[in-house]
Amino acid sequence: MPQICVVGAALIDLVAYVPRLPAVGETLHGSVFRTGFGGKGANQAAMAAKLGARVSMVTRVGRDTFGDSMLENFHELGIDTTHVGVDESTSSGVAPIAVDANGDNAIVIVTGANDRLTPADAERARETIAAADVLVCQLEIPHDVTLAALSIAREESTLAILNPAPAARDLPCAAFELADVLCPNESEAALILGREVDAGEELAAARELRSLGPRAVVLTLGERGCAISTDGLELVRAAEPVAAVDTTGAGDAFVGTLAVGLALGEDLAAAAARANHIAAMSVRLPGTQSSFPSLDLLSRHR
C-alpha cells in the first residue's frame, strides 16, 4: 500500500453555480448552492486515499462546525489525522467558489486556521514524512512551513512533489531546488516564469521551469493534458476529451493521482497518464472531493 504525506490547507468549499462568472461590481442570480470539502492539500490527500493509498495529513482547522466536519471527513476517508491541529482562536478556512455554465470557476480562499501552521508542525511530522513514499506540498499555507516540509523530505530521502498553487512571485529558490517534481498549471507557470506560456511552447516552458532546480516538471495543461520534462524524457501527454460539468479540483485530482503513481513505483510518464485520466473523470461531476473517482468506480469503468 503506497504511503503519502500531505502538508497543506484544508477548507470548506462554498460553491455557487452561476450562468457566467460575474464582472466587477455585478450581482448575479445563481441556480444551485452546495458546500463541500476543499483546500488543495485536503483535496490531494482525499484523491490519494480514494485510490487506496495510506495517507497522513498535516494541517490545522478551527474549533468550529466546519473544523468538526473536516475532521469527520478525513476519518471517513481513512486519512490519518495525528498531525491535524485544532486552533482554539481562529476559524476554519473557507473557499467561496463560483462555477459557470461551462464548468469554469473563480475561487477566493480565506485560509483561517491554516495560517497558524508553523515549521514546528512540519518537524513534529518528521517521522510521518520519513515513512512516506511521497510528500505532497502546495502554497496555501505559510511558505516557511512548506519549505520546512520539503527540507525534511530531502533529508529523509522521501520523494517530494510541489504543486506551486496558488502561485507566488516571492517563492524562495530553495522551494524549487527541494522539489523532486514541480507540478504547476499554465497560469502558475506563467507567474513563476514572468511570461505567458503560449500554445506550442509547453515543453520549452517545462524545460525552463526545470532549470530553476526541480528534478522533474509536470506542467498541467487542462483539457490538453500535460507536458513532462525530466532527464532523458520530454513529452506532451494528451488528455481524453470530456464534456466538463465542473473543473473545480481537477488539478488536485491530477496531483493526488500523480503522487500515488510515483509511490507505486511508476515512471513519471505512466503516472502522469493515469493522472490525466483521473482528472478527466473528475470534471464530469459537480463538486470537488465529491467528484473524485474511487477505486471501486474505476474498476466499474474498465
pLDDT at 244: 79
Q: 61, 41 in Cβ contact below 8 A?
A: no
The one catalytic residue among 87, 252, 267, 296: 252
Nearest alpha carbon to residue 218 among 209, 230, 227: 227
> Half-sphere exposure of 137 toward its Cβ, with a 13 Å CA cutoff?
32
pLDDT averaged per 10 residues, the chain (length 302): 96 93 93 93 97 97 97 98 96 93 88 97 98 97 97 98 91 94 95 87 93 96 90 78 78 96 96 93 85 71 46
Is 100 known to be catalytic?
no
pLDDT at 296: 67
Q: Which of helix, strand or coil describes residue 133?
A: coil
Nearest alpha carbon to residue 253 among 32, 211, 242: 242
**Residue labelled with grid coordinates 485530482:** 253
Domain 3-9+40-89+114-300 classified CATH 3.40.1190.20? yes
pLDDT at 233: 82
Rounded to whole angstroms, how far apart are CA atoms 17 and 31? Answer: 6
Q: State CA 271 to chain mean position distance.
A: 15
How buried is 236 (Cβ within 10 angstroms: 0-12 exposed, 13-18 middle, 19+ buried)?
Answer: middle
Calculate helix-pair angle for 65-77, 40-50, nearest 10 degrees: 30
pLDDT at 82: 98
Rounded to whole angstroms, how far apart are CA atoms 255 and 261? Answer: 10
Rg of the chain over Cα atoms, rounded to whole angstroms, equals: 18
pLDDT at 297: 54
pLDDT at 242: 76
